Each structure stands twice: as C-alpha cells, then as structure tokens.
Structure 1
C-alpha cells in the first residue's frame, strides 16, 4: 500500500512536467482527424508516449528543443470520449487527459457572413467598458490607463454584449472585433495584433467563456461573430517565442529583418527571389516575429488553432490580418483546410493593394492566379481601391476625365477581374485608415458614401463611431482614429448609445445610418441582384440593382449644384416602371419626367 501511495505521489509530482497542451481538446466527426497535440514542459521529449482506448498515434515528432513533443493521433471514427495520454521515462510515468467532445449538429455546414450582411468593425478596448474590474490583470503587463491615448482604456467583451441591441437596432448583422486573444506587450497592446497566447482571451477583455457567451448573445439576435485572425505573426511576448520549438518556427535572418512590404513580389514574374523573400519572410514590425507557415508543424498548429476557435466559440467567419504577407503556399493550405472543414465559411483576407488585378489574384479561383497555377482558396478580399476612391472623390466637385464620381464608376469597371465580386468586403474606412468624417467633416458627403456602400455589390463594413460622426486624424497617430465610443464608460458626459444621450449632430448621423442599414437588411435585390451602371455626367452617377422581381435606381450627385437629368437615357433599366419612391425621404418621382437632385446628395429609388 505504501509503495502504491509513493507511486501516486510521484505521478502527481511529475504531472507538472506538462505546462501546456495545445489544442486543449478536439471534437468527434471532424474532417481534420489527424490531430497534432503539442505538449510543452521541461524535457517532455525524453518520455515515451501512449494513448488510451485503442486510439492510434500516427506520428511523434521531437525537435531540437526537448521541451516540446508533437503527438499526432488518428481521431477518425472515434466517438466523443475522454482520452488519456501516458508519458513514461524509465519507471516514472504520468498522465494527461485529452477530451474528444461531441460536435454541434450541422456544425460543418454553419452559415457564414455574405453580401446580405452589414459588418460592424470595432476595437474592443475603445468600444465600451462593461466590467471595470478587469481593466488590469495580474498576469498581463500593461495596466488600464484611459488618460494615455495609446494605453489600455478598459473596453471589453462585456461592453460589447451590453450594446448588442444598439448594434442590432442600427441595422448591423455581423460584428468584427479586432483580436481578443491575449496581447502581453508592455505598451500599446490594446489593438491585439501582437498576440502572446492564441488559445486564451486577454483577461482585460474577459475570459474564454465570456467570448463564447458573446457568440451566443449575437446568435440570439440573429447576428454573426467574425474573429480577427492573425496568421502572419505573433507578438514578441508570445510564450513560445521565448522558448522556440524549432529555430525555423519563425523566419530568422538570423533574428530580425523587416518586411519590404512589396506584396507585388508575390506574383511579379520579374521579381528577384530576395525581394520576394523579404516581403513574405520579413517581420511586419520588430515586435512581431514572423511565423514560418512553410514549417509543417507551424502550419498544422495554426490550422488547428483556427478550427478550434470556430468549434469552441461557434464562430461565423474570419477576417485574416496581413493575409498577403504570409508564405503564400502555406496560407493557401491553411485557408483550404478551414473551408474544407466548413464549406460555407467565409474568410476575408486583408490584401492592402491599390490595383484590382493584384487584389483579384488573392481571391479563390482567380484566373490571374491560375496563370502560375496558384489558388489561395480565399473566398473574399477587401476592396481597397473602392476605399481609395471614397477618400478623395467627394471633394472633387468638378467632373474631369479621371476626377470626381467617375472614380467610383471606374472601380466597378474592373469587376470582371474578380472570380466573385459579390464576396468582396467594401468599406469607407477601417481601424488603420483616416477617419472618413475627418477627411470631409460634412454629413452630406457621409450620406453619399454610405448610400453607395449600402447599395453596391459586396459585403459592406462600417467602422465603429462613424454612425455618430466620430472623427480622428491618423496623422496624429493611430490612437486618434481609435477614440473611445462616447457613453461606453461610466461617467461619460455624452452617451451616444442612447437616443436621448446623443447630440443633435450625432443624432443626424445615427438616424440616417440606421434608416439606410435597416432598409438594406431585407433587400435581396441589393444582396444578390445584378448591376447596370452608367457613365457619370456632370458628376452624377446613376446605377441600378435589379433581379426578376424588383429594381432599385441609385442616383448620386457629387457636384456642388443641383442637377436635372432626363430619365430617357436609362430606359433599358427603367423598362415599364412608372415611378420611384426614395427610400430616404419618402418622396415619389415620376419616371416619365426629368429628375432633379440637390447638390451633394443621393437618391435610392425603389421602382414601381
């Protein structure tokens, strides 16, 4: 009996060898059934490993770092159950439980976001502070300090949950928070892109369970949860960076070398190899070590982590940061693995380029990529060229060959380059660009831009605070375009989350946005209809969205003068329709007569 007790004590003591096990669990009935379980602990690789219940270990991988052991198990046809990994080194042994959980019904075929949605991009730290008790935590370096523009301000998951009804009433159908996983940088960690633990929600935002609850609360309201996923890099405080599994887990030169940011080198047939490598393998910034997706262990780790979050938090989609800086073969394999697991799952990649052909290269089934037999498998890219046009066009009052509203028209001229233009993310601004309302400071121009955003092809994304007229100048630093949402903190003098708390200016912005987005919610003709547009005249852009059942005529007057135009020019789309009722004002226009439109304004006419 005494001997057994001593063995049990030894087993309990030895258990501490495992500091981390990732993923912490898996699910039954998954397409990805060769699961690579990473064990981390002091000299863990010295142990022999086995697993219970007849489960087959198909691979055991040791690296030059003895503190890691990568064990691949075959979970095909295994039901939900508790497995036990046993580690043995001579006479000493210890065990670690690993759960195979039951999968949610129809998880594989979950519906993702698409062109019927309106996505709301928010920065959790700057949106709302629902739980002031977690503004700082004992196990993260940077403490809450709202007085510092680039500091931690205390916004959190609870703040998002408390304001979901505000977003639903605004007309939003999907929420994209910037990364919520732990970012333990000592300063300016609020943005979340320098992650230090990709299996843990940052405690200053809440817990993993809070994140699951946020998904549940979104789903109760018929809304979707989009995770901002980072495949290209981690933060320099990532626990694994401090004890790398392999030298080539990250790109080494040796050590740090910054990216040249020249994404064109990824498909330029004339590019030098060194330039292509510097783009793809160079670090985004010095504090963000660049992950090596060409290393199979890294690629499997990232793939499993992404799928783990989808299953664990019941996610509805991804936005992938700096997509085109990844190893392009590795990121294509990562993307395909996820969309193989979830055929309807949408992923939008940040491909920040200024040429449609170059952006189209990165979309799934691109004919441009096919020239070199490349397919990213990426369903969606971000329409940065439309964003570029939005940034200048509304100050170009006089129509010229390449100035004025023609820029917006020209953006859609190149839709033939995209395999699926309706699955492109459109936006007037985001968390890395100038605030639209800073560029223009004119609600008329905001209304024109939002009218276009809400009625053209693609998946519209709005940036938090724009809907109440929030401004900010990126030239003053990123913190200036990431202000706290007024009313998100106890004691705020202005609460823009409520109708009574909004200033008259905030109310004007908000009410227009809510009217427009709520109208869009149920308009299938906008979600999936065809488009015909007309070359602008006198800085007036006219286009139609239509299907077999209905037609919408959109008119945008970007000139500084009232314009009148003949409707006969548009007879191929007006057809037998007699009148059009403006969604925004309720005014009805006779389509047999000339139409007049005020300067710097727009019409959305539902044709009857």
Structure 2
C-alpha cells in the first residue's frame, strides 16, 4: 500500500491513493492515480525517477487524477511521487511490483466446471474475532437473520477440503468488498472498492483464500459491481465530479427495469437512459460510467483485483443496467490482459433472445459488440423452476434448449435453478425430493456451466425472503446444534441428497460426454412428461431419460436406434448397475426417475 510523507503542515494533505500499487509489464500501463486529500487544486505531480512520466489530468480541492506511464521492463521498486501545491509538498510511496506468473492463476472457467455459489456471511465463521470489526457499522446479531451472522473467508478456507471432496471446481462468492452500512451482509453496496470487508477478513486473507482454493484444485469467481455503490461510500457526500453519479441522493429515478429496451428496435432512447441511470434502492447510488475518470477507475479496479489476488473469473452484477459502451471496453481490456479468463454477466431476462444479445459474437442485431463471453441462463432457470412448482412441464425445458441457436456459444452459459436472489429450489418444490433430484440431474448433464447454491447438497429449504433463503449452513457457526458438513451431523434425507449430488459431480468429472459431448434431445412424449436426450463425444454416449410423472413409463427408444447397436450394454451412473438396452423394445422408467446411462464399449 502507498505510504504518505507530508513535508508541510499547511493546507496540502494526502489521505490515500487508488490504486495503491501497480505492476510492471501490464498492458494497461498508463495508470490513472486517484488521489484523495485536501488542497489538491492546481497541483503538480512528478516521480523522482524520470522513467515515470506523469500528467495531472484533473484536480480539485479533494481529488486529483494523475496519469503515470509505466515503461516496460521498469525495475520493480517503491517509487516516490512528489505532489506540489504552491510551496507545499507531499511525497507518496507508490509500489510498482513484479507480476506473479504462477501457472495456477487466471485459469478461467468453462463447461468442464461446476460452480458453487456462497454467501460468505452465511457459510462458516472461522474467525469470531472479526465479527465486530473496528471502523465499520456494528451489524452483527446471530439471533436476527436480517443481520450479519459472522461468516468469513477463514471459515470458507477451513471448508475447502469439504468442497473439494464434494466435487465442485469453482467458487463464486457474493461480493466481499467493504459494505459499511446496515443490512449490507449481501455485499452489493460497496463503500471501499479496494478493501475486503474487515468482517470477512483482509486483502491479505482474500489472497490467501484464493491461493488455498487453487491448492485444492478449486478456481475463484469474483463478484463485481460496476453499476452502483453503497450510500456510505465517501464519494456520495463529496463527489469527485458532478457527473460521477446518475442523479443524487435527493433526486433520482427508481424501478426502471427495462432490460429488453437495450436492443428493442422500437424503444425510445430515453427508456434505455432510464434503465441505465435509475437507483435500485435509495441506499445504492447509481454510478455513471460515461464519466471518463470513473470509467478508468472501474477498469483499473477490476484489473487490480485480478492481478493482486489471482482470481480466475468474474461475475458481473446487473449487467444491462450499466453503460454498455463502458462494459464493452471493460470486458475487452480484461480479456486482452488475461486471455484464459472468463466473465459471466447477469442478464435477468426470461427470453433467450434478450439474454443471447449480450453474449459476444452473436448474430442478432445489437448496437455494439459486448465482448462478454458468458451469460447467466435465466430462461432455462425459469423452466426448471416451473417444473419444480408444477406450473410447467419438461416440454418447457426442451423448448428453451431449442433456442440455443440464438447464442454464439451455448456451452458458455451459466446454468442454475436457484441462486442467492430467488427462493431455493427445494422450497418452491415443497420439498419434493424426487423432483429436486431430477432437476439436479438435468443441470449436471445438459449443456452449460452448472451452478449450485450453497446448501443444495444438503437439501437446505430456506424460505420466501432473501434472508430466509440465505440461511446459515448448519455447522458453520459457534453454538450450532449440529454439523451438516459431516455425515453424522446430517439427517437421513440430507445424506441422501448429499450422496446423490456428490456422486453426480464425480461422474461429471470422469465421463467426458457430460462436459464435452454434443447434446441431442427429443421432444418430450407422454403428454410432455418424458424427456430423453443424449450426450455424445466421439464413440462415447450417455443416455438420459427424465420421467416427469407419478407413474412409471415404458419409453420408446426406436428414434435413437441409429446411435447405438441393438442390445447395447449401459452402466447406470447413479447406481453403478449394468443393464442391456434394446432400441427395439421399450425401456421402463420409474416414476419421477432421472435415468443416466453410460454406454459400455
């Protein structure tokens, strides 16, 4: 971090500099320093090393923006930046570091992975000493589910062996940056974009968490927000520029979720403007990425976290709500520096066309190339949830998948049936374990990158509200009556689901057609109640049959006859039993069964 030496007791003072450091040999080598302090109007800035060229871009009493050009092959060191205003001077220590080129960093994520989503405050408390951290709002109350519960990075590190054994390969944590406000345990109201929330840990502990995850063959997705900040951010009371926010505390629009308007050929331009400038809630001011200094700040902030921590991917929150030209540049910059990286955008729309327009390289008419590789598959999520509630059938799932021609890469979609923003699948299915198993089976055997919400593997039910669905993981907190991280601490039903999920996760890693195979599916029959599909990779075939009825069904396989020989032998990937299947005879599938069969050569 930068250290500050002021050689005057007069008006000039420096509080902090962002970013706190940079690296040699980065493609982004013209770094915009944002200097916080007082008396910064009309400053001059110069490094004591003449290899570092500086330009003061903009200054006011409280903020200055200084650009520094970092030449290639500059020796890593702490360089001294002199800030001068009249006869007053401050000297800033600015580290320029060597990059960490370890091969396990910045690996990206793809359809060979399974993502496990964690709300850090609700998973495990590994360090009770940070429950009440200095300098932030005291919002800890384990007796109130709307307050902070004490989960932290240390608790997740302690559970990495559990997660590795479960079989997940990527962790997505809800935002971990400082949220210094009440009811902000969720992490989406940042008040310092360069600081891990002290109730979760420190910047150093976050890097240690990433390193430890990598050591357990688990990659990390960083949940990032360009669209808004928290009301407690210092910017809000002292804006760096008049255009830094869309609106103000006293005057701003709200509730303008017009996502489809972005690519609507008939939309009034003002409708799009409203979408990209409204405040989600009064406590989350909307950032204006059209401000060039803010845009550079956000890009650099993202690059800084990637390089500092060695993360593997980003989930970008509320993707359609931010300025799309900015996001296109943001994504392109990241992927230019980290070509193996992946970024998934949250586009909460229920039509495939509305979501597909945001994936890079699609053929649909759109205003600008997004450069966004991956999108969240909300249409498939909706179909899964309709099936779980009984308001939809397997036909709905089939129909969503028939729209995959809209995507440039259907395999690079994040697929899910619940997450931290919607009631859990078990809850909406009214704890119908058979249906939950079916949807888990489809999630892990269809195309895409599956995502599971923490606790799905132990049948966590949750409730209707956000605080209920983000319940504590049993056994992660002091005084918990049982430990569901361990077999003996789980109920019979929980162990049944855990065994099923773990088995399928292991199978998915081992059986290549489930990750790399082509998907061939068939219109559901028996009144839309039986859905069958194949995953094919070379000569290897997996056959999946889902019976969405409370009676067993004899399933006609004649339309699959050209894919495998008569009387072919298959192994049931759930039970490990071997069976012989003839394409000329009907195969009986039990009620609410998900049959997953791997052909034996």
Tell me the TM-score normalised to structure 1 length: 0.94
SS at the partner of 2:487?
coil
Shift of 1:394: 3.8
The answer on 1:29 being equivalent to 2:18 is: no
Shift of 1:575: 4.6
SS at the partner of 1:249?
coil
Indicate the residue corresponding to 1:313 in structure 2: 309
The structure-2 alpha-carbon separation of the partners of 1:112 and 1:217, relative to structure 1 and needing over 3 Å to count, comes to same
Shift of 1:519: 1.2
Tell me how far apart the structure 2 counterparts of residues 10 and 455 of structure 1 sit (CA, whole Å).
61
Tell me how far apart the structure 1 counterparts of residues 335 and 251 of structure 2 sit (CA, whole Å).
34
Aligned pairs for 1:260-275 (under 5 A) are 260-275=256-271
Tell me how far apart the structure 2 counterparts of residues 115 and 577 of structure 1 sit (CA, whole Å).
32
Indicate the residue corresponding to 1:124 in structure 2: 120
Q: 2:327 aligns with which of 305, 327, 331?
A: 331
Aligned pairs for 1:371-410 (under 5 A) are 371-396=365-390, 403-410=392-399
The answer on 1:447 being equivalent to 2:434 is: no
- Does the 8 A contact of 2:33 with 2:65 survive in 1? yes
Tell me how far apart the structure 2 counterparts of residues 396 and 325 of structure 1 sit (CA, whole Å).
32
Q: 1:416 aligns with which of 396, 405, 408?
A: 405
Indicate the residue corresponding to 1:228 in structure 2: 223
Greater than 6 Å deviation, 4+ residue runs: 106-109
The structure-2 alpha-carbon separation of the partners of 1:552 and 1:81, relative to structure 1 and needing over 3 Å to count, comes to same
Worse overlay, 288-297 or 574-583: 574-583
Superposed CA deviations along residues 270-304 of structure 1, whole A, max 9, x for unmatched, are: 11122111111111211111111111111100000
Worse overlay, 25-34 or 523-532: 523-532
Superposed CA deviations along residues 585-604 of structure 1, whole A, max 9, x for unmatched, are: 12222121431111001111
- Does the 8 A contact of 1:30 with 1:76 survive in 2? no
The structure-2 alpha-carbon separation of the partners of 1:84 and 1:577, relative to structure 1 and needing over 3 Å to count, comes to farther
Shift of 1:240: 1.8
Q: 1:594 aligns with which of 575, 586, 598?
A: 586
Tell me how far apart the structure 1 counterparts of residues 82 and 556 of structure 2 sit (CA, whole Å).
80
Tell me how far apart the structure 1 counterparts of residues 435 and 163 of structure 2 sit (CA, whole Å).
23
Tell me how far apart the structure 1 counterparts of residues 116 and 538 of structure 2 sit (CA, whole Å).
30
Indicate the residue corresponding to 2:474 in structure 1: 486
Q: 1:525 aligns with which of 513, 525, 532?
A: 513
SS at the partner of 2:142?
coil
The answer on 1:570 being equivalent to 2:553 is: no
Indicate the residue corresponding to 2:339 in structure 1: 343
Higher helix share: 1
Indicate the residue corresponding to 2:540 in structure 1: 550
Shift of 1:89: 2.3
Indicate the residue corresponding to 2:415 in structure 1: 426
Tell me how far apart the structure 1 counterparts of residues 373 and 138 of structure 2 sit (CA, whole Å).
36
SS at the partner of 2:64?
strand
Indicate the residue corresponding to 2:488 in structure 1: 500
Tell me how far apart the structure 1 counterparts of residues 564 and 539 of structure 2 sit (CA, whole Å).
13
- Does the 8 A contact of 1:115 with 1:527 survive in 2? yes
Indicate the residue corresponding to 2:237 in structure 1: 242
SS at the partner of 1:500?
helix
Worse overlay, 484-493 or 81-90: 81-90
Worse overlay, 175-184 or 65-74: 65-74
Tell me how far apart the structure 2 counterparts of residues 57 and 240 of structure 1 sit (CA, whole Å).
28
Aligned residues between the structures? 590
Shift of 1:15: 11
Superposed CA deviations along residues 544-599 of structure 1, whole A, max 9, x for unmatched, are: 11111411111111111101123222113225771111100122221214311110
Aligned pairs for 1:157-176 (under 5 A) are 157-176=153-172
The structure-2 alpha-carbon separation of the partners of 1:302 and 1:576, relative to structure 1 and needing over 3 Å to count, comes to farther
- Does the 8 A contact of 1:583 with 1:605 survive in 2? yes
Shift of 1:109: 8.2
Shift of 1:81: 2.3
Tell me how far apart the structure 1 counterparts of residues 130 and 143 of structure 2 sit (CA, whole Å).
17
Q: 2:187 aligns with which of 177, 183, 192?
A: 192
The answer on 1:581 being equivalent to 2:581 is: no
The gaps in structure 1 that reach 5 residues or longer are 1-7, 398-402
Tell me how far apart the structure 1 counterparts of residues 435 and 228 of structure 2 sit (CA, whole Å).
37
Tell me the TM-score normalised to structure 2 length: 0.95
Indicate the residue corresponding to 1:294 in structure 2: 290
The structure-2 alpha-carbon separation of the partners of 1:373 and 1:274, relative to structure 1 and needing over 3 Å to count, comes to closer
SS at the partner of 1:536?
strand
Tell me how far apart the structure 2 counterparts of residues 106 and 141 of structure 1 sit (CA, whole Å).
37
Shift of 1:14: 6.6
Tell me how far apart the structure 2 counterparts of residues 300 and 320 of structure 1 sit (CA, whole Å).
17
Shift of 1:218: 0.3
SS at the partner of 1:213?
helix
- The CA RMSD measured in Å over matched residues stands at 1.9
SS at the partner of 1:166?
helix
Shift of 1:437: 0.4
Superposed CA deviations along residues 458-511 of structure 1, whole A, max 9, x for unmatched, are: 10000011111111222xx21011110000012211210011111112111111
